[in-house]
Structure 1
Amino acid sequence: MQKRVLVLDYLRGIAAVAVVFGHFLLETKVQNISSYSILFNLTEFLTFKLYWDYPFIAVHVFFLISGFVVPKSYENDGSVQKFFIKRIFRIYPSYVVALIATTLIINLFTREPFIGTRQFIVNLFFIQDLLDSKTILPVAWTLLIEWKFYFLVPILSLSKTSSVFTYFACSAFVFSWCLIPIDLIHYIEQHTKFHLLAVLCNILTDQSPHLLIVLLGTVLAKGYLELWSSKTTTVVSLITISAIFFAFFRLYLKYEPSDVSWIHLNSFIWAFCIFNFAYALRAKIPYISFLKWLGDISYALYIIHLTLGKYVLNFLINYIPNYPTSAVCITLCFCLVVSHFIHILIETRFIRYAKKLTG
């Protein structure tokens, strides 16, 4: 992968729009807005009748793409220090902007509980769940998984000759999180002095299947870039997919069995098929400037859409309650414009600065 794979940018952009649209559609349901739109009814049918939950599919596509491209970025950087500097300057600028904007909006314009300095700081370092603090940006749970993967990347790249062994060591470590006994977690929860440990165990078990999906993206990269043989890639992929299925089933032993668990599993299957199908056709897909643009602004769009979109959408719904589809589309366009300026004015500048800083 000496040059950028455009189809992955396209996928990233489409996935971001799918997540945004899914969240906005959910917001219209929260507001009890009834819609006779064909588009709304179709998405509802896909989600609840065919278990096609496109926002979850999109998130799993994000994870596969991260697992595919991030280890290659680490190899190009050549050192742990350069890698983490670039990751910090890639992730944090837009995240901090969204965090500050959301805090100001909530504190100044809504009746939601006031966000104090402590809450802001713990959200800044993604430890709000660990310290039982309010999550300011609900989408931040995926960023925490990304950071866990970043810490695994240097280990995955320790040795090319034993890359299969190091991969299995990392994936076994992540898989072990889902094996933490539920009864043990409940027992720890009953003892106040160990409350923090119980919360940590819950976080690890919840994130185990998703982080395994990221690791599966790494396996696909090894296979497609011919770093592993096709036989090795197939065997390791099947083992990882089996681990993901088991981890998802194990995860939902904590909750009441419902359609949600099947939606998660089906979403992963769809994401896996879409990713591989798109990559297989990468040479036949032409350059599409709009999709490339969506890919460029995808992270900014993903991280800010709940900051501005939720409140803009609620404002529009109050004025055009009979046209929820129009309200969603207007809000989506607004978020696209804001994301474009965040990408141009903030992301690109910090990325360039990180490159200068790391030489």
Structure 2
Amino acid sequence: MSAAALPAKPARTPTTPSARLAWLDALRGIGALAVVAEHLLPWFLPGLRPYWFNLGIYGILVFFLVSGYIIPTSLERHGDVRAFWISRFFRLYPLYLAVIVVMLALAWWVPVREAVPRDGSSVAAHATMLLDVVSVGGVADTMWTLSYEMVFYLLVTALFLTRGHERSGLLSMVFAAAAVVVGLVSSGAVLAGGWPAYVSCAVFVVALAGVVLGRFRTAAACVLGLMAVVLLLMSSRVPWLGVAVLAVMFAGTAIHRWERGTGRLWPVAVTTALVAISPLWAIESGWWWVQADVWITTIVLAGATFAGGMALRGRRLPRVLVWFGLISYSLYLVHHPLLKYFVQISGDLRRAEVPYQLGMAALAVALILGVSALSYRYVERPMQALGRRVSRRYRGGLQRGGDTGVAGQGAGDHGVLGHEEGQVPDRVRDHVAQVDPLR
């Protein structure tokens, strides 16, 4: 995220879509592996867990930079908010719902964690994916980051329809400054209780239907964007962290605009500095990974990783790393539940002999990769294909109905966006016993 770490602005050279996007998949692969390692090491190889930076937060920052880099520009290229939301629905919800169903079905064996309310507010929060910004725990721990992806989508849609989407550098600085201020004045959700989940679900369903169906589209998008900001500031479990996440995502967009010659890079440097100091005086900042040395090191490593990916764009990258990125949404959603089930069978491995720990860790990783590959093949890919068919069916009618289109961007281009936004790694918290106090 550091502006100084970014490569020089490239000369424009013709590349294929797959070559242009392979580096983004590689970054997702790195982020996904970092998150798996963050959750696996404490229970399988605790002696190898690093504490000079945080693997999970590192992965989160890489993923959110990637989302910020590509999502707003993908919407601009499509020029079609209905197609965008149809794509997002078929991209995110099928696997998300499948994981929820499986975890509830196995709750007799491994109970759903206590952070999940046993009432209708949990259903409402899961329906919108706005879990963390309404202070509701997800059935799977990893689902918290989807809250900020959804907030970002809502904001980007409103900005696009109101022609404010090109001010990403300014927005990144505003959110970064807000993270510092919010950390100084707020220790948690101001709007408490279950009602934010119920109200946001009702507004989400009605207003998003307006956006998709074209009924008062701009007004509905603005309502959703305003709601997203209010929830972010007033009912998030850790408000400064959520606001900082949005700053990082808009910084990713600003980097893309700089790369295309339509923006400056200095807002990214300002955003980086503000995000770096945002938790240092925050009321709720006692976790080990927000200590100045750890937090700043993590930010620098994430920024350097993203810059390295940019420097390698258009070049041949290791296929296995790109493949990890391809399945990273599945990897993100299924790895934490699988680790819980594995530990339930294997028992506590923290005091076992190192060779046994290594063997069990290898077995767990093989299981996670196998299940992730299967869920990508049999859940993600078919539903993405269905989403593209639905988008193609409505695209012609949308353009005739007045939606702005962009020349040269057809329905087939959805393939370029097949796996970018939802891959966000899990919050950093050990899934048994040794708990970091993030939630």
Q: TM-score per shorter chain, which class? A: 0.7 to 0.9
CA deviations 1:52-82 (Å, max 9, x no partner) are 2222211111011111111222123212221
The alpha-carbon distance between structure 1 residues 27 and 170, as it changes in their structure 2 partners (threshold 3 A), is same
What letter corresponds to residue 11 of structure 1 in structure 2? L
CA deviations 1:262-306 (Å, max 9, x no partner) are 32332111100111012112244x243322221111110111111
| Higher share in helix | 1
Deviates more, 1:3-12 or 1:314-323: 314-323
Deviates more, 1:275-284 or 1:339-348: 275-284
Q: Does 1:298 align with 2:299?
A: no
Partner of 1:249: 280
Partner of 1:81: 82
Give the unaligned 5+ runs of structure 1. 29-34
How far residue 178 of structure 1 moved from its aligned partner, in angstroms, is: 4.5
1:74 and 1:334 mapped to 2: Cα distance? 36
Q: Is the 8 A contact 2:135 2:189 kept in 1?
A: no
How far residue 236 of structure 1 moved from its aligned partner, in angstroms, is: 1.6
1:95 and 1:290 mapped to 2: Cα distance? 24
Partner of 2:426: none
Which SS does the other structure have where 2:31 is aligned?
Answer: helix
How far residue 340 of structure 1 moved from its aligned partner, in angstroms, is: 0.8
Partner of 1:141: 144
Partner of 1:59: 60
How far residue 132 of structure 1 moved from its aligned partner, in angstroms, is: 5.5
The alpha-carbon distance between structure 1 residues 203 and 226, as it changes in their structure 2 partners (threshold 3 A), is same
Aligned pair partner of 2:318 in 279, 288, 292? 288
> 1:176-215, aligned counterparts within 5 Å?
176=178, 178-180=180-182, 200=235, 202-215=237-250
CA deviations 1:155-182 (Å, max 9, x no partner) are 554688x765464247525743542375
What letter corresponds to residue 91 of structure 1 in structure 2? L
Aligned pair partner of 1:275 in 294, 306, 311? 306
Q: Normalising by the residue count of structure 2, what TM-score does the alignment of the two structures yield?
A: 0.67
2:386 and 2:196 mapped to 1: Cα distance? 41
Partner of 1:172: 174
Q: Does 1:236 align with 2:271?
A: no
Q: Normalising by the residue count of structure 1, what TM-score does the alignment of the two structures yield?
A: 0.80
The alpha-carbon distance between structure 1 residues 90 and 174, as it changes in their structure 2 partners (threshold 3 A), is farther
CA deviations 1:117-141 (Å, max 9, x no partner) are 6334533333445666543111112
Q: Is the 8 A contact 1:313 1:327 kept in 2?
A: no
- Identical amino acids, percent of aligned pairs: 21
> 1:1-359, aligned counterparts within 5 Å?
3-4=17-18, 5-28=21-44, 41=47, 43-44=48-49, 47-48=50-51, 51-105=52-106, 107-110=107-110, 116=118, 118=120, 119-129=122-132, 133-157=136-160, 165=167, 167-169=169-171, 171-172=173-174, 175-176=177-178, 178-180=180-182, 200=235, 202-228=237-263, 232-233=264-265, 235-250=266-281, 252-256=282-286, 258=288, 260-262=290-292, 263-284=294-315, 286-317=316-347, 321-322=352-353, 323-359=356-392
1:302 and 1:6 mapped to 2: Cα distance? 19
2:196 and 2:38 mapped to 1: Cα distance? 34
Which SS does the other structure have where 2:74 is aligned?
Answer: helix
Deviates more, 1:321-330 or 1:6-15: 321-330
Q: Is the 8 A contact 1:309 1:332 kept in 2?
A: no
2:384 and 2:134 mapped to 1: Cα distance? 31
Q: Is the 8 A contact 1:19 1:54 kept in 2?
A: yes
The alpha-carbon distance between structure 1 residues 222 and 195, as it changes in their structure 2 partners (threshold 3 A), is closer
Which SS does the other structure have where 1:108 is aligned?
Answer: coil
What letter corresponds to residue 278 of structure 2 in structure 1? A
How far residue 113 of structure 1 moved from its aligned partner, in angstroms, is: 6.4
Q: Is the 8 A contact 2:186 2:239 kept in 1?
A: no
Q: Is the 8 A contact 1:24 1:313 kept in 2?
A: no
Cα-Cα RMSD = 3.4
2:150 and 2:251 mapped to 1: Cα distance? 16
The alpha-carbon distance between structure 1 residues 103 and 27, as it changes in their structure 2 partners (threshold 3 A), is farther
1:69 and 1:353 mapped to 2: Cα distance? 22
How far residue 207 of structure 1 moved from its aligned partner, in angstroms, is: 0.5
2:189 and 2:66 mapped to 1: Cα distance? 38
What letter corresponds to residue 86 of structure 2 in structure 1? I
Q: Is the 8 A contact 1:313 1:331 kept in 2?
A: no
Q: Is the 8 A contact 1:99 1:136 kept in 2?
A: yes
How far residue 23 of structure 1 moved from its aligned partner, in angstroms, is: 0.3
CA deviations 1:204-240 (Å, max 9, x no partner) are 3231112211111111111223333xxx22x221122
Q: Is the 8 A contact 1:98 1:303 kept in 2?
A: yes
What letter corresponds to residue 172 of structure 1 in structure 2? V
The alpha-carbon distance between structure 1 residues 201 and 346, as it changes in their structure 2 partners (threshold 3 A), is closer
Which SS does the other structure have where 2:156 is aligned?
Answer: helix
Q: Is the 8 A contact 1:123 1:135 kept in 2?
A: yes
Which SS does the other structure have where 2:253 is aligned?
Answer: helix
The alpha-carbon distance between structure 1 residues 89 and 163, as it changes in their structure 2 partners (threshold 3 A), is closer
What letter corresponds to residue 290 of structure 2 in structure 1? V
Q: Is the 8 A contact 1:67 1:216 kept in 2?
A: yes
How far residue 253 of structure 1 moved from its aligned partner, in angstroms, is: 3.2
Q: Is the 8 A contact 2:183 2:278 kept in 1?
A: no
The alpha-carbon distance between structure 1 residues 357 and 317, as it changes in their structure 2 partners (threshold 3 A), is same
How far residue 316 of structure 1 moved from its aligned partner, in angstroms, is: 2.7
How many residues align structurally?
A: 335
